[in-house]
Amino acid sequence: MTLEEYTDRFTGMLNFDERKGYEGYIVHSERLVEFARTIRDELGYDYLSSVTGVDYLPDEQIEVVYHAYRSQGGPGLVFKVQVPRINPIVPSLVSIFPGADFQEREAWDLLGIRFEGHPNLRRILMWEGFHGHPLRKDWEEPYFEESEKPFNSRWPEGKAFRIEENKPFKKNVQYPPEFTPDGWIPEADTALYSGMVRLGAKDAGNGRSLETDQILVNLGPQHPSTHGVFRMVVSLDGEEIADLQPVLGYLHRNHEKIGERNTYLMNMPFTDRLDYLASMGNNFGYALAVEKLMGITPPERAEYIRVMMAELTRIVSHLFSIGTLLNDLGAFFTPMLYALTERELILDIFEAVSGSRMMCNYFRFGGVARDLPEGILEKVYELVTERLPRKVDELDTYLTDNEIVRTRSIGIGVLPREQAIEYSAAGPVLRASGVGYDVRRAESYSIYDRFDFDVAIRHNGDVYDRYLVRLEEIRQSLRILQQVVRDIPDGEFQTGKPQYQVRVPPGESYGRVENPKGELGFYIVSNGKPNPWRYHIRSPSFINLTAFGEMCKGHKIADVVAILGSIDIVLGEVDR
């Protein structure tokens, strides 16, 4: 049954979004929960991928935008809620889609949208004492210069300087009214600690109970096992975890605010800095979103080059993930060095193609920045047909049946299938729980429908299966790459001439790709001007952390490190 067949039931509940360049449905806020439950239970849209907000300042209106999909695959459903910009209140969908938890907190934090009924509506990226909501269009940072780039002071003369250089205190900082650092009490930690699970009496097994105290332990933010600047507040009963709350935002720099001030092309190198192990894949998702608005398609050769770079990126990321996971399990650096050796060979390819090893900035709207250098195809062919398959088999031999690896990972951090869908998990985290959802197959993009490959899937949802999925995905990427180097045609590498400034028609688009860590989505709103009106990133590292606390309950502190490693986060993408 389709949504259109529910027209009578939804009378007065929703309207089709008739704005030019927009899609989906506008739902009345008081009926949002009922609508969400209906599309999940009766229409099969059980996977809520993205939740974000848009500030339409001239219209004094805030819009919350949702993208929902079926976990079996197929096109998505876009629905929206519009509320007044002054005191915007929208019902929370966490009770129906738990994966909305962190995303609603982010929309509250950055846009000031209050989600009524949310179980823990606190800031998530900014500190609790932060003044205002920085993605509001009328919010200006300290020493505000202009709302759009390039700034008049720097273009066309080319005079570049840091804004702080001309300010008396040399700091780009502002505080709430009447704020004094000496008198500030960090209420965020108080609220966080008070919300943790309380431990009661525990049966000692002899008919008597053992009174235990609640012990709260902070793991991070400066800790080598947190994979970056990341903090976990853990409630302990002895060594057993009763509750765990991730604390994010230590690396946050409001990437999206920067993106809304940049021109469209300026944002391409900024995407490199998200998951900095997967810059080519980040480029891919952003390029697709803007190309949808522009109505352009890259030439055949460019499509093959894009797929080649994306699959090499997947291998790079998974090799790094497997190496760091073994570090987290206590193997120290030997497996990591094996993985890094192979990664370096792929980075040689990236450097030859883009001029950079990590921040590659290679994709362009309508293609890629330049053609492949002479001899690169032969190097890629040798790498994906000879060396890498052999080295992946070696990793498999050394690690998969290793007694310590199996003991530390089997049955640890289990995420059941239903919970993986509910929490909007993506990538290997989702597929290791028995959900064969891969955007390359579920809603194919670029030319992925031409290639023969299997979606890697396991069914136990633990640390071990997440490792096995990544290992198998490397092999499937090698299959795709072998087909790419065999079939890549000659021809142009870009549609039209390279442009510094592109013309993007008004409207909205959502471009998504299957990045190594899961679905990476870019939601773009254009008003026809040189800068995006809204630029939002659905980052898999951020959303995969939503279920992290549930995955850790009942385990030991040492297991937390392994579980976090198996989720495979990069803090540049978590915090943006």
Class of domain 1-151+170-190: alpha beta
Long-range contacts of residues 132-138, Cβ cutoff 8 Å, at least 24 apart = 133/109, 134/110, 134/254, 134/257, 135/53, 135/55, 135/110, 135/111, 135/254, 135/256, 135/257, 135/260, 136/55, 136/57, 136/111, 136/112, 137/55, 137/57, 138/57
Q: Which residues pair with 521 in a beta bridge?
A: 512, 538
Count Cβ atoms within 10 A of the Cβ of residue 284 and give its class: 0-12 exposed, 13-18 middle, 19 or more buried.
buried
CA angle 170, 176, 180 (to 5 degrees): 75
Phi, psi of 126 (to 5 degrees): -95, 160
Q: Which long-range contacts (CB under 8 A, 24 or more apart) does 69-74 make?
A: 69/45, 69/442, 69/443, 70/44, 70/45, 70/46, 71/46, 71/47, 71/421, 71/435, 71/437, 72/44, 72/437, 72/442, 73/437, 73/441, 73/442, 73/443, 74/442, 74/443
Per-residue pLDDT of the chain (576 residues; tens, 9 = 90+): 566 666 667 777 788 888 898 999 999 999 899 999 989 998 999 999 999 999 998 888 999 999 999 999 889 999 999 999 998 999 999 999 999 999 999 999 999 999 999 998 988 998 877 888 999 988 887 766 677 777 777 666 777 777 667 665 556 666 666 777 676 666 667 767 666 765 554 544 444 455 666 788 888 787 777 777 888 888 888 888 888 999 998 889 899 999 999 899 999 999 999 888 999 999 999 999 999 999 999 999 999 999 999 999 999 999 999 998 998 888 878 888 888 999 999 999 999 999 998 898 999 999 999 999 999 999 999 999 999 999 999 999 999 999 989 999 999 999 999 999 999 999 999 999 999 999 999 999 999 999 999 999 999 999 999 999 999 999 999 999 999 999 999 999 988 877 778 889 999 999 999 999 999 999 999 999 989 999 999 999 999 999 999 999 989 888 999 999 999 898 889 988
* Residue 403, C-beta contacts closer than 8 angstroms, at least 6 positions apart: none
Whether the domain at 1-151+170-190 and the domain at 255-574 fall into the same CATH topology:
no
Count how many residues are written for the chain. Answer: 576
Peptide bond into 150 cis (omega under 30): yes
Which one-letter DSSP state was computed for residue 494?
A: B
The token duo for 148 is: 């759009």
Instruction: Give the dihedral sign, CA 412/417/422/424.
Output: positive
User: Domain spans of the chain?
Assistant: 1-151+170-190, 255-574
Q: Token digits for 242?
A: 């009763």
Helix (H) or strand (E) holding 519: strand 518-526
- CATH architecture of the domain with range 255-574: Orthogonal Bundle (1.10)
> How far apart are alpha carbons 364 and 299 in whole angstroms?
12
Whose tokens are 């890498």? That residue is 388
Bridge pairing between strands 89-91 and 114-116: parallel
Burial of 29 (0-12, 13-18, 19+ CB in 10 A): middle
Complete DSSP assignment for 43-111: S---EEEEEEEEEEGGGTEEEEEEEEE-TT----EEEEEEEESSS-EEE--TTT-GGGHHHHHHHHHHH
Tell me if residue 393 falls in helix, strand or coil.
helix
The one-character DSSP state at 15 is: E
